[in-house]
Chains A and B, each alone.
Chain A
Amino acid sequence: MAKTRLPMQGIRVTDFSWFGAGPYVTRLFAAYGAEVIRIESNIKIDGMRWQAPRKPGITQTYNISGMYNNFNPGKLGVTLNLNLAKGIEIARKLVSVSDVVLDNFIPGAMAKWGLTYDELVKIKPDIIVCTMPVMGITGPYMLWRGFGTTIRTVAGIDYITGNPERPPIGTGMAAFPDFTCNPYHAATAILSALHYRNKTGKGQFIELAQFESTACWTETSILDYTVNQRVQTGMRNHLSYAAPHGVYRCLAEGREVDYCAMPESEPEHRKKDERWCAIAVFTEDEWKAFCNVIGNPPWTKDEKFATFQKRKENEDELDSLIGEWTLKRSPEEVMMLMQKSGVAAGVVQDGEDLQTRDPQLKERGFYVYLDHPETGRIAHDGLTFALSATPGEIRRAPLLGEHNEFVYREVLGFSEEEVNKLITEGVLE
């Protein structure tokens, strides 16, 4: 089988990033053919390597974390001790043969190692360096610490989410910006810089402050305040230009499952009763189609729901009437009936639905199952888009230090003796 050239083949990335937001950037590049070298260390392990979930009943090592393995497919893993001068020298050597450098450390960390853009551009004049600090590399809060969950809170997404009568809810434990705006804004910036380098031969320095990147994702919230002095809040599932627009409880299944609120908490074993269907009606035609689907019960003719305006005014009552209808049906049935009539609707899918039931994701081959030497066959998110001429591929994530031999011998050209000496001196820790 002729192997198609992957589009980013020939690009080498020296990746100092860790946890979620940084590795998600290079995950994309690796899937499309870039050679991504993840610099890790045995002395300060990437926190993602010990996070839950892990497969139970097998030897618990740094190589079996589900999240690490899903965040790092296709990368080369090396260990390097940046606390030693020789370690830094090797990092610089790696940069000298790289196209892109990425980090998401607190401001000052890369400077401590002499690995700032100003230093690196001297050894690789067209290097593209992207740093992803939490708050920015300047400013009064530059040293503030934070995670994906807190970045979401400070940037204003939490405030416009949920029930306005309760505290802002956000996306709960999910560190939303780590997997969305921050890595994909960074990827967009780096890819644009690569295009610019193709045109001009010039590299450059890119700063992605995660606070700013996330603040760009509050839709009209900022403009509504600066223009109308209005502070937007959560609206539960309502939307100003649609009604009904909500999530409706559906028929529970008899089968029992384990629900879990947090990865480390005790699971709740109960019937699969968290069954919901989302329905969104925008136009008058869709409203009519919607009424037909639910059999035109008398309440749909009620004056209270006669116009869009009226439906907005009486939306809570509308929602509860719809809920009575959906409660007798599975969410799949509700979705199919609505979609057949041209009404947007979708099952509120859980992890099991996504992986084992959804025929669309199956047909598209979304989940990729690969063998891993320590944790067996495991699921990975696949590609989110298909490129007609240059497909991508998901390969498993590296074990800690798995590619030391390849990178130090083949890429940097050290002899076996030299590598052994580095090991003895602790440089490859």
Chain B
Amino acid sequence: MGKQKPRSALLAELRVLDLAGPAGLYCTKQLADLGADVIKIEPPGGDPVRNIGPFYHDEVHPEKSLYWFHFNTSKKSVTLNIESPEGKKIFKKLAKGADIIVETFRPGYLDSIGLGYPALKKINPGLIMTSITPFGRTGPYKDFKASDLIGLAMGGLLFICGWEDEPPSRVGGSQAYNITSVHACAATLIALYHRDMTGEGQRVDVSMQQCVAHSLQWVTQMYDLQKRIMSRSGRLGVPLQECKDGWANFIALFDWDLLVDWLKSGGGEADLDDDKFKDMDYQIRPEVRQHITEVTDAFTKSHDKRWVCEEGQKRGIIAIPCNNAKDVVENPQLLERNFFADVEHPELNDTLKYPGAPYRFAETPWKIKRRAPLVGEHNREIYGRELGLTSKQMGLLKEQGVI
């Protein structure tokens, strides 16, 4: 195959057009941080995602959205009105030179403006077009609207989350969007592998509902095999211990003797030194759980969660701190491994600390190439240098509201 370029980025020389809203942003972020040249196509004036907070120093401004920053690292930005005739022409030129398009418009929208997959395939047969929609491109709900919350609901994850005595509770961090984005990314890369082998591009149809419905652990099988409906379990099974400065979580199921020894060393095993607790069926009864937690709480309350977990793990017990963002940022493991990525923001005259790589490659390091783009930051580079538009032409397109 091709000549080897040592330590070049994994996905270098791939061009991606990013027409994704929140449901697909993490898909294109991954591609960009893995080295692909991802061009975010924003409507003139800027992507509405720029209005989502929180903001840098709480200053509400489209160039200061931390949400935008987080999901658009390593990407470039051009502005383009893809509904205008001139805009369509430009978009087709970009599509001709692209390897991948990721979009989250409602089904049929791009077709209705003449930019659907069949039209683009004609000008670029190797193109991979990944369409992310709430429910997929076919079926009775294909035109239904959905956000992250609705995706969690319709995909079945919301039903099992939350306290038993409260309504189902959304998982923090827009997880339906994240889930959909990682599925879309894997799907796109499978299509890319096929293209590497055959040269053939294709259409990828990703359904947020299906992605969430594939994230449910045992929900499907509980109903299929036993006709039982999994409901919210609250903290049953994964109780939090109260510590001096927050909470920690033990899973003592398999390590009962170790736990009892530990409690004894602190003088607080109460009646837990009894083999009946080793029986899982007994141990998981709510009143038994409650009792165990009361005894262990009395012990952990006088220590901070870091001590509890370091000491517990040393003794072979699965003890884990319930970390907030500060704890994560100060976590000794993450610090020792240089997890966090410092990203320069020249306009803010500041360097911000981001979450780092989800994966580490020995041969081709992962890297945030640059901070998220400013609105239309790369218009000149893409339209001028690449497509050969003159300054005058670009000025005219700007006047017409195309770019």
Contact = CB atoms under 8 A, between A and B. Distances in A.
Interface in A194-245: 194-196, 198-209, 211-213, 215-228, 230-237, 239-242, 245
Contact of B355 (A153, A218, A241): A218
Contact of A188 (B186, B196, B364): B186
B contact residues, range: 35 or more
Contacts, number: 567
Nearest to A205: B362
A18 interface: no
A215 B249 CA distance: 17
A348 B160 CA distance: 10
B149 A220 contact: no
Interface residues of A, number: 170
A150 B361 CA distance: 25
B251 A276 contact: no
Interface string A162-198: 1100111111111110111100111111011111101
A233 B173 CA distance: 11
B67 interface: yes
Contacts of B158: 247, 278, 348
Interface string B145-168: 111011111111111111110111
A285 B364 CA distance: 48
A222 B353 contact: yes
Nearest to A363: B139
A231 B64 CA distance: 19
B334 A55 contact: no
Interface string A326-352: 000000000000010011111111111
Contacts of A257: 229
Interface string B163-207: 110111111111100110011111101111110110011111111
B323 A156 contact: yes
A174 B217 contact: yes
Interface in B108-144: 135-136, 138-142, 144
B7 to A, nearest CB: 10
28 contacts: A28-B186, A141-B333, A146-B320, A150-B318, A156-B324, A159-B324, A160-B173, A169-B163, A186-B359, A191-B193, A194-B193, A205-B361, A206-B362, A215-B328, A220-B67, A222-B353, A223-B54, A230-B54, A259-B231, A262-B233, A346-B149, A349-B154, A350-B156, A352-B223, A355-B224, A358-B154, A384-B213, A385-B204
B377 interface: no
A191 B220 contact: no
Given A69-B221, A160-B325, A258-B226, 19 more contacts: A66-B224, A139-B332, A147-B251, A160-B172, A161-B173, A162-B169, A169-B234, A188-B182, A198-B197, A223-B354, A231-B325, A231-B326, A234-B169, A247-B149, A344-B147, A359-B141, A384-B213, A385-B211, A387-B190
Given A7-B190, A350-B159, A260 B230 contact: yes
B69 interface: yes
B361 A204 contact: yes
A96 interface: no
A155 interface: yes
